[in-house]
Every structure is written in C-alpha cells, then in structure tokens.
Amino acid sequence: MNIYDIAKEAGVSISTVSRVMNKKENVNPATRKKVEEILEKNNYTPSAIARGMVSKTMKTVAILTVDIRVPHYSRTAYTIEREFSRRGYEVLLCNTGGELSETVKYLRTVQEKKVDGIVLVGSVFNTLCKKEEIGKLLKNTPVVLANGKLELPNSYSVLVDDRYGVAMAVNHLMQRGYDKLFYLNDMDTVSARFKCEGFIQALQSYGIHNGKGYVIETERSIEGGMRAVNQLLLDKKEFTGIVCGEDLTAVGAVKALLHAGLRVPEDVAVTGYNNSDYAAICEPELTTVDNKPEMVAMMSVQLLTSLIEKTEAYSSCTIQPELVKGRTT
C-alpha cells in the first residue's frame, strides 16, 4: 500500500495524508483521526518521497568521502552522520576511493534519491569537482566541502588552514633549536599542497629560500616514512628535524630513525599531522597538529542544515589547527 491508496481509502487528498504524516496542524481533527487509523491498520511506513511532499524536503543527505579507512576521513564522516541523524535526517554514506568514475556513479545515485544536500569529505574533491560531469550533477543541490573550496553555485566550504598548521610545526621545531628540517610530502591533494606550501613559507621566514630542496616526495604510509628517512640517511643529508604531512608517515619516520640508532627527539625531532590514534600509539608519542575533524564535521552539518532549511545566512568558514605536543620534539 502506498500514499495514494491511503488517501483513496480515507477519502481525502494526498496532500492531506502528507500533512497528517508530517504532524502539520492544519488538518481537521476528525480527518486526522481517520487517516491515522488507516495508517495504523495497514502498518504503513511512509517513504521519503511521501514525507517530502508537504515539507518540501526529503530529510535526506549524502556524505561522499575518499577512503573511509583513513582515520581523518572516518572521524569526519562519522561525526557528520551522527549529527545529521540526531537532527532527524537519513544519511547516505558513499566511499568513492577518490576516483572520478566512482564519484560520478554515487552522485547520480544520490541525485536519483533526491537528497536535500551533499557533504564532500576530502580535499581531493577540489580537483574532482572541476570536471564538467561532476559540476553538472552538483549544480542544483546544496553542497558543503569539508576542508576545501568549490567554484560551484550553491556550494560552501569549511576550510582548515593547513598552511598555518605546518608552519606552526616548523616554528615549534625552530624555536627548540631544530634548524635543519626536511618535509615528507606524502599525498597529492589540495590539502597536501597547502601543507607543503606552509613548510616552504615557514622556512623563508627564517631566511631559508630554497625550501623546495628540503621536500621529499613519498607515500602516505609507515613504509613511505621509513623509505624517505632511510634515503636521507643513505644520501648523508644533515638534518635535525622531520616534518610530516600525515601522522602515519611520521610513525614510519620515527621507526626508521630508531632503527638507525638515532634518538628521538634528542638527535632528530619529528612532527606529524592530524592528531590521529597513530600519534598516540607511536613510541615516543608524536608531536602532531590537530586539524579538528570533529569541528569541521559539526560546522559542515550546521552550514548544510542552514542551506537546506534556509534558517540563517550562509557563509564559508576557516578553522585554525592547533599544535599537540608529544615526546618527539
């Protein structure tokens, strides 16, 4: 049985049934009672489409993330899902792998379900959303990008100042006498590029103008961190500090240093980024940068809810990360 059958049996319009289901007040009490009895008798559960007929909203949002296995993405997506659920929304969670084809596939799916809005989690969407096919799919739906900025209509951003975050780590090391630094650039995203820029700009503030020469390309993994440090040692590079774009890579850097007989932080200091569980379980515990994924998530929810429900003025915002001192500096 669907909403049309309910309306026919009650002898009322579909919109009246919808008003009853959405607890609207402008329904005759006798009519309301009749409709509710028919709904109960048939054990009727309204579909999202039926609920949205009067409210003009499906009360459904979608979250698209890059890789749900990555702690930063999972913390952000989890917080968004829990908060939207608390606010009475149904949530669709899509794991795209950062691939264009998967992103297009999921966007088509959520558009078919007529979601009220979309949260994109991951700065890789800065690049993906420049593709024409994605821009077309997003143009009529409110979109919030967690940690990025989109050049699309009806889109808003919750940014993290990653340049500032890495520069803060550099300043922290420099102030403690670790003045020969290398940066492990371990991802190829907009956020990663901002982090690398923050490192280079921070070095410039200390009179080091060839900062690109102190950037080592590697991959985001324990092995990537180990490989980069081992290469520095093999090349006999002189260094007293390693700044990493991710905690996971920093754990690998610490492991390689200890395996080489170096002391952390007495001989070489190491910083990570994300304030993840990897930082806490590293031995010694990592000094890291907290880019506040839970705050990013809550601000994303508030912004998208405001767009959907048109409750207040809309504005993108920027969050400042914080240094979390461990025992590797």
181 and 267 in a single domain? The answer is yes
Does 218 share its domain with 130?
no
Residue at 327 is within a domain: no
In a domain, 328, yes or no: no
Are 230 and 299 within one domain?
no
Convert 52-75 to b/e letters by CB count within 10 Å (16 or more is b): bbbeebbbbbbbbbbebebbbbbb
Token reading at 104: 């297009």
d(CA 271, CA 184): 10
Token pair for 306: 């405001």
Rounded average pLDDT over 218-225: 96
pLDDT at 175 over 90: yes
Which token pair is 116? 């009220």
The one-character DSSP state at 285 is P
What CATH number does the domain containing 48 carry? 1.10.260.40
Q: 149 with 220, same domain?
A: no
- Band of residue 41 on the pLDDT scale cut at 50, 70, 90: confident
What is the pLDDT averaged over residues 39-59?
65
Residue 281 sits in the same domain as residue 312? no
Of 297, 303, 302, nearest to 315 by C-alpha is 303
280 and 204 within one domain: yes
- Indicate whether 253 and 315 sit together in one domain: no
Q: Give the Cβ contact number of residue 45 at 10 Å.
A: 8
Q: Residue 210 sits in a domain of what CATH number?
A: 3.40.50.2300
Q: What is the pLDDT of residue 313?
A: 66
> Does 315 score more than 80 pLDDT?
no
**Best-predicted range by mean pLDDT (19-28, 79-88, 135-144):** 79-88
Please provide the average confidence, as pLDDT, over all residues in the chain.
Answer: 91
In a shared domain, residues 125 and 76: yes
Do 117 and 143 meet the contact criterion of CB atoms below 8 Å apart? yes
pLDDT confidence of 45, banded at 50, 70, 90?
low
Residue 329 placed within a domain: no
Residue 225 to residue 212: CA distance in whole angstroms: 18
Structural domain ending residue among the three candidates 12, 32, 55: 55
The SS3 assignment for 36 reads helix
pTM for the complete prediction?
0.81
Least confident of 90-104, 120-134, 286-300: 120-134
State how many domains the chain has.
3
Question: What residue numbers bound the domain in which 205 lies?
Answer: 162-290
Confidence of residue 274 (pLDDT cuts 50, 70, 90): very high
Sorted by sequence, the CB contacts under 8 Å of residue 169 that are 6+ apart come out as: 243, 271, 273, 287, 289, 323
Mean pLDDT, rounded, for 176-184? 98
**Residue 325 forms part of a structural domain:** no
Domain match, 205 and 191 both: yes
Are residues 105 and 56 in contact, defined by beta-carbon separation less than 8 angstroms? no
196-221 pLDDT, tens per residue?
A: 999 999 999 999 999 999 999 999 99
Tens-place pLDDT, residues 122-172: 988 888 888 888 888 888 899 999 988 887 777 889 999 999 999 999 999
CA separation, residue 125 to residues 132, 145, 151, 326 (Å): 13, 8, 11, 32
Same domain as 281, residue 189: yes
Backbone angles phi, psi at 99, to 5 degrees: -90, 140
Task: Check whether 309 has a pLDDT greater than 90.
Answer: no
User: Comparing 162 with 21, which gets the higher pLDDT?
Assistant: 162
Kindly indicate the confidence band of residue 47, based on its pLDDT and cuts at 50, 70 and 90. low
Q: Answer yes or no: do 185 and 280 share one domain.
A: yes
Both 172 and 82 in a single domain? no
| pLDDT at residue number 48 | 53
- Cis amide bond preceding 153, omega within 30: no
Is pLDDT at 58 greater than 80 in this prediction?
no
Contact call for residues 118 and 110 (beta carbons, < 8 A): yes
Considering the domain boundaries, does residue 156 fall inside one? yes
- State the pLDDT at residue 51: 53
Strand-pair category, 90-95 with 60-65: parallel
